[in-house]
Amino acid sequence: MFADRPRELTIHADVLALLPDFASARACLDIAEDAARAIQGRMAVAHIGADPEAMIAAPEEIDLQMLRNLEEGMPRERLERVERAFNEWKGANTARQEIPLDDCRGDLARCVRSECHGIGLVVAPAHGSMDARDAFHDVLFKECKLVLVPPSGGYAGKLLQHVVIGWKPHPHARDAVFAARRWLAAADRVTVLCIDDETDDSYQLTARELLAQLSLRGDVVAVNSDGRSVAESLLDFAGAANATCLLIGAFRHGYFLELLLGRVTRSLLSHAALPLLMKHSLPAWP
């Protein structure tokens, strides 16, 4: 009944580790801890999961959730796996003993809304169980939060040692940089990457203006794609520059169009070997 209200355990946090899937729980926890420490902020942790017995939804949706229980386990079993991963992580460092694990099960969208209320940065997986995929979609598209996605191969640490920003003068990219400014200010190194700049160097000019506006120090670099996709160009540069995090404006053309055409965000989510920091902005209607 009260699943869409702000949660007491997460409402005052700066960074939320959202744990819908035990397989990615450790990476989410490690990244969230580093992100919170970088800005001297507060970290919160929450498990969320769809529970057909506590949902108000169409019969077809409830039937689908009941079927997934056969493959992924009952809601309580999924929570217990996340709890084990969390307790192992918590037990490895005495400084983590005061961090509780919140739990919200039922309608997933309402749980996401309540857990993410007021949060500046949400760490969540983009792949994995049905809960993980649905929660990522809701955090990014419905709540429009700044999201930090762990790489599928695991988190290597040093989150903000070198942040690369994929830049194009578009509101999606600008909104993502503004939302991430606290973490960019805490980064050891920031590089703004402009791919296939215009002849008047407008990408680089606007990038420098944005850095100055936010009082951020960073390098502005322009490269040509040379026939590669934008995603390939971003990842090639990030690898060569030893980047530890990549910041982008997510799904500029919308989720379904990018799903069909395989555009930049979807390709990065599939192939990036480093954490992805992203934000989706709703279109501005006239």
Q: Is the pLDDT of residue 101 over 70?
A: yes
- Rounded to whole angstroms, the Cα distance separating 226 from 140 reads 31
Strands (E) across 31-156 are located at 43-50, 101-106, 121-123, 147-149
Q: What's the token pair of residue 111?
A: 């749980």
Q: Which residues of 124-136 are buried (b: 16+ CB within 10 A; e: fewer)?
A: bbbebbbbbebbb
Q: Is the pLDDT of residue 197 over 90?
A: yes
Q: Nearest 5°: CA angle at 111, between 184 and 43?
A: 35
- Rounded to whole angstroms, the Cα distance separating 120 from 142 reads 15
Q: Which of residues 56 and 180 earns the better pLDDT score?
A: 180
Amino acid code (one letter) for 238: A
What is the DSSP secondary structure assignment for residue 6, as one 8-state letter?
Answer: P
- Rounded to whole angstroms, the Cα distance separating 111 from 89 reads 23
Q: What is the pLDDT of residue 286?
A: 40
Q: What is the mean pLDDT of residues 206-212?
A: 97
Q: What is the pLDDT of residue 285?
A: 39
Q: What is the pLDDT of residue 64?
A: 67
* Distances, alpha carbon 286 to alpha carbons 54, 141, 239, 255, in Å: 39, 20, 40, 21
- Rounded to whole angstroms, the Cα distance separating 16 from 40 reads 14
pTM here?
A: 0.90
Largest CA distance in the chain: 59
Q: Which helix (H) or strand (E) holds 269?
A: helix 264-271
- Rounded to whole angstroms, the Cα distance separating 246 from 238 reads 7
Could you give the percent of the chain with pLDDT greater than 70? Answer: 86
Query: What pairing do the DSSP bridges indicate for beta strands 276-279 and 147-149?
Result: antiparallel
What's the distance, CA 235 to chain centroid? 17
